[in-house]
Structure 1
Amino acid sequence: MIVLLTALSVEHDAVRDLLTNVVQRTCAGGTIFEVGELAAHPGRKVALSVTGTGALPAATLTERALTEFKPTAVLFVGIAGGLCDWLEIGDVVVATKIQAYQGGRSEDDEFLIRPNAWLVSHELEQIARRLPRDPRWRAGLPTASGANAPAVHFEAVAAGDIVLNSRTSAEAERIRRSFNDAVAIEMESAGFAQAGHLHGRVSMATIRAISDRADGTKSTTDSRGAQRLAATSAAAFATALAAAINEPGEVDHSPRSERRTVPVDPGTVHNSNVNHNGWVGAQLGVNTGNFRLTWPEGPHSE
């Protein structure tokens, strides 16, 4: 089972459009999940829910999903504001690092930052980095043309309970000065990452797509459908990632050329037993090829 979490209805709807055979499941506390299969990957079970905005509800519902489904992986899927001019609306950002930028200590004349940070699960990052070279991930996009497909970036993301819509505010300047490797900003991944860190036994990743430039133009880009465009991009990549994850007990269907093979040298096993007027038994746990049993003054056996 793969769990997909979103914060907004527009993000939820984009993922829901890529699912089939969906049924509703209500878990402890009344949280509703939609459980179904990936339309492009029949048989791959996923659970989908909306957390609402902010780190606290994201952390709470992440923990609830981990308890309810015991998933192989959990993905947070949604939109984000872009902090770099080279990002295009609709571009996908896989968060290699999530930085909670609001922690700190306020003094009379300065703010001393005390941030937290979490890295993406290595296994999911490795799988995700292969997807941009596979045109099949674009199947979830409205236009499957390669020329119109969004770019995919692997970069750090800043997370905090603030909607940033300025490049010149005090908050924007603090992020630029102290978290300058972050290329996008959003509100939920710090809570999501902390819940995963405390759980400690499941792979987790944040998949975001750029819906605005966090520069004062959010209302304009939102009115032009940028949120829907970005949510669709994030959903397409996240569901492709969910399909690429090998669940426990699942056969590896990747091309043979991509599978890791480990050469095994059976070596030589030597064993000597001395026996007088009795039986000698040998128990071999691993058969490494031809073997020979010998004993003094007796026939050779092979």
Structure 2
Amino acid sequence: MAMRERAVVLTATIIEYRAVVELLEQPCPLNSASGAPYTVGTLAGSHAGWDLWVACVGQGNVNAALQASQAISELQPELIAFLGTAGSLKPEVCLGDVVFATKVYGYEAGKQTDDGLLARPEVAGAHPQLAGFARRIAASEAWNAPRTPTDEGLDSPRVHVEPIAAGEKIQTGQQEALRKHLRASFNDAVAVEMEGLGFLTATHQWSEAKAMVIRGISDRLADKSADHDQQIQPVACRNAARFLAEVLADCASDAQPVHLLRQIEARAGRGRADAKTFIPAGLTDSRAVLTWEDVPSHDLAGLTVGTRYHLLREIGRGSLNAVWEAEERAFNRTLGKVAVKLQPPDTGKRFRYFSREAATMATFDCPYLLPYRTAGTMDAGELEGWSYIATGLAQMSLRNWINEDPLQGSDLLAMMLDVARALTYLHASKLVHGDVKPANILRYVDRWVVGDFGLTQPSGAHEPEGTLGYMAPERFEGRVVTSNDVYSWAVTSVVAANGMWRNDLSTVDSTMGRVASYLASNIPTRPQYRSQSFPRPIADLLSECFETDPADRPTMQDLVKSLEYFRT
């Protein structure tokens, strides 16, 4: 059976979203690892090589950048698109026509002088291979039906593979001044919209995903009437969606996936995969994610790892490894159950992370860190060459726990204190966990413990690693300091108090926004959050943890003392 590829399609409005969902067979609601809502289905008709994840994310370049980064980090698609409507800037670009944006200008960037705005545009481009597919489709007979000079493209749309412009304001009425500015500074732009620049700027930081912007023309900038939204937008959206389907069909057979995609399934079943951990890898290095291709075709259940651990069932996958529940057997009896993390044969970066994690865990002696059993590499059998780490078996991750019920009151403070104690232990040894997030906080016996030490490094190292949405701002620059964990601990606490619906919280998304801010956008640097979810003294502590300068944040030891004092 052919392996499907995954495409993510983001839209800004409900009308645009509906047009894409109409392409799907058996659409169903499904959440990403962070709780972001999508509608998922296969592309209908002859274009059956793709699974589409469709979301309506709202308007604006900044929002598009945040949501695109989150979608790529969590879903790891082969292709990501932004689809919607735009206003025409050229007479030959008619209502109902479709525009594939070869590049997007940020027309509001510039220098304001007495003589007017001097353009200093930001520019982001689509993936060149996708632009090639678009041109091939645009030249086809299906998109070149005869029409008279007075016809619009509602029934016989054309495709324009040209640049567009993007701003931050919704344009209504007669915009003659803006049209003149665009004509003077961006003469080759054929349409104007609000999301393309932020979307493409964010996607450029992820080499795995090909990105494109597709727009249906729903109005003219110099002649925009109130009835356009109701009468023409639905047609323009359907035309753009039809073109999207053809682009996907055209590139499906040519696509060369860098990685197979993790299965993010519904809550019933094997559970949801975690958000992708960001780990830069060189072009000649091994892939940074464990893929389904790496797992043998036969079922691993019943196999023995390390002479005594009998695999029962897979219970989770992260960005690097698969984790199995196993029985520990010795002396002709079952001693109990453990968790076994498996690493396929690899001599590259993934193995270095795995072996570093095992060596680090072997030194631990702290009740708030996941208990370590043993580690090794299989030298014979069906899993020859595979490495493993055996640990205590947790009951549930914080991510799964708060997906049903956010933590409140004493339960929330107990979790915060347990995790703070674990990080205090690490920091006393000058170690930085580097990936504090709900998926790595585990319920073990009667307490919360910290697990997953693949990114744990000594303070002073220099690598931009972590999980987008939880990384401290300085971590994007590669600075590894204990304050990284303080910031991530605070984000995790806020998420735990409010559940996994991150789109409702600027706390997590603002951290994601720092990626876009670093590249192109002017996004507020200080996260906002619902302080009423916490007692006032704790809310004040969290505010300090979000300081931009790592030196201004409290230490984990300070946080432990404050939490212990408050509990008493």
TM range, smaller chain: 0.7 to 0.9
Task: State TM-score, norm by structure 2.
Answer: 0.40
- The verdict on how the C-alpha distance between 1:199 and 1:47 changes in structure 2, with shifts beyond 3 A counting, is same
Say if 1:99 and 1:115, in contact at 8 Å, map to a contact too. yes
1:24 aligns with 2:29: yes
Quote the residue 2:91 is aligned against: 85
In structure 2, C-alpha distance between the alignment counterparts of 1:233 and 1:97, rounded to whole Å = 20
Quote the residue 1:152 is aligned against: 159
| Structure 1 residue 238: Cα displacement | 0.7
In structure 2, C-alpha distance between the alignment counterparts of 1:16 and 1:195, rounded to whole Å = 24
| Structure 1 residue 43: Cα displacement | 4.3
Matches within 5 A, 1:277-288: none
Quote the residue 1:218 is aligned against: 225
Match of 1:70 among 46, 67, 76: 76
- Alignment deviations for residues 168-218 of structure 1 (CA, whole Å, 9 cap, x no partner): 543332212101111100000011011111223321111111100112433
In structure 2, C-alpha distance between the alignment counterparts of 1:166 and 1:147, rounded to whole Å = 21
In structure 2, C-alpha distance between the alignment counterparts of 1:117 and 1:167, rounded to whole Å = 26
Q: Percent identity?
A: 35
Moved more, 126-135 or 10-19: 126-135
- Alignment deviations for residues 252-280 of structure 1 (CA, whole Å, 9 cap, x no partner): xxxxxxxxxxxxxxxxxxxxxxxxxxxxx
Quote the residue 2:188 is aligned against: 181
1:248 aligns with 2:256: yes
Matches within 5 A, 1:116-131: 116-131=122-137
Where 1:150 maps in the other structure, the secondary structure is coil
In structure 2, C-alpha distance between the alignment counterparts of 1:95 and 1:167, rounded to whole Å = 24
Say if 1:165 and 1:215, in contact at 8 Å, map to a contact too. no
- The verdict on how the C-alpha distance between 1:168 and 1:56 changes in structure 2, with shifts beyond 3 A counting, is closer
In structure 1, C-alpha distance between the alignment counterparts of 2:161 and 2:174, rounded to whole Å = 22
Quote the residue 2:41 is aligned against: 36
| Structure 1 residue 167: Cα displacement | 5.7
Say if 2:218 and 2:232, in contact at 8 Å, map to a contact too. yes
The one of the two structures with greater contact order (alpha-carbon pairs below 8 A, sep at least 6) is 1
Q: Which amino acid aligns with 2:35?
A: G
- Alignment deviations for residues 116-165 of structure 1 (CA, whole Å, 9 cap, x no partner): 11222111111122223556789xxxxxxx99431111111001112234
1:111 aligns with 2:117: yes
Where 2:59 maps in the other structure, the secondary structure is coil
| Structure 1 residue 244: Cα displacement | 2.1
Moved more, 101-110 or 183-192: 101-110
Quote the residue 2:549 is aligned against: none
Quote the residue 1:295 is aligned against: none
Match of 2:207 among 200, 207, 211: 200
Say if 1:77 and 1:235, in contact at 8 Å, map to a contact too. yes
| Structure 1 residue 30: Cα displacement | 3.2
Say if 1:93 and 1:207, in contact at 8 Å, map to a contact too. yes
In structure 2, C-alpha distance between the alignment counterparts of 1:181 and 1:147, rounded to whole Å = 23
Match of 1:163 among 166, 170, 173: 170
Quote the residue 1:8 is aligned against: 13
- The verdict on how the C-alpha distance between 1:168 and 1:192 changes in structure 2, with shifts beyond 3 A counting, is closer
- The verdict on how the C-alpha distance between 1:103 and 1:200 changes in structure 2, with shifts beyond 3 A counting, is farther
Task: State TM-score, norm by structure 1.
Answer: 0.74
Structure 1 residue ranges without an equivalent (≥5):
139-145, 251-302
In structure 1, C-alpha distance between the alignment counterparts of 2:99 and 2:21, rounded to whole Å = 20
In structure 2, C-alpha distance between the alignment counterparts of 1:57 and 1:205, rounded to whole Å = 16
Quote the residue 1:54 is aligned against: 60
Say if 1:80 and 1:212, in contact at 8 Å, map to a contact too. yes
Say if 2:11 and 2:56, in contact at 8 Å, map to a contact too. yes
1:191 aligns with 2:213: no
Q: Which amino acid aligns with 2:104?
A: I
In structure 2, C-alpha distance between the alignment counterparts of 1:135 and 1:107, rounded to whole Å = 48
In structure 2, C-alpha distance between the alignment counterparts of 1:109 and 1:217, rounded to whole Å = 27
Say if 1:157 and 1:182, in contact at 8 Å, map to a contact too. yes
Quote the residue 1:283 is aligned against: none
Q: Which amino acid aligns with 2:256?
A: P
Q: Which amino acid aligns with 2:29?
A: Q
Where 2:171 maps in the other structure, the secondary structure is coil
Say if 1:164 and 1:172, in contact at 8 Å, map to a contact too. no
Quote the residue 2:299 is aligned against: none
Say if 2:20 and 2:241, in contact at 8 Å, map to a contact too. yes
Say if 2:138 and 2:161, in contact at 8 Å, map to a contact too. no
Calculate the aligned-residue CA RMSD, in Å. Answer: 2.4
- The verdict on how the C-alpha distance between 1:95 and 1:28 changes in structure 2, with shifts beyond 3 A counting, is same
Q: Which amino acid aligns with 2:196?
A: S
| Structure 1 residue 11: Cα displacement | 0.5
Q: Which amino acid aligns with 1:17?
A: E
In structure 2, C-alpha distance between the alignment counterparts of 1:240 and 1:162, rounded to whole Å = 31
Where 1:210 maps in the other structure, the secondary structure is strand
Say if 2:86 and 2:192, in contact at 8 Å, map to a contact too. yes
Q: Which amino acid aligns with 2:15?
A: V
- The verdict on how the C-alpha distance between 1:70 and 1:168 changes in structure 2, with shifts beyond 3 A counting, is closer
In structure 2, C-alpha distance between the alignment counterparts of 1:66 and 1:137, rounded to whole Å = 31
Quote the residue 1:279 is aligned against: none
| Structure 1 residue 26: Cα displacement | 1.4
Match of 2:100 among 94, 104, 122: 94
Say if 1:35 and 1:45, in contact at 8 Å, map to a contact too. yes
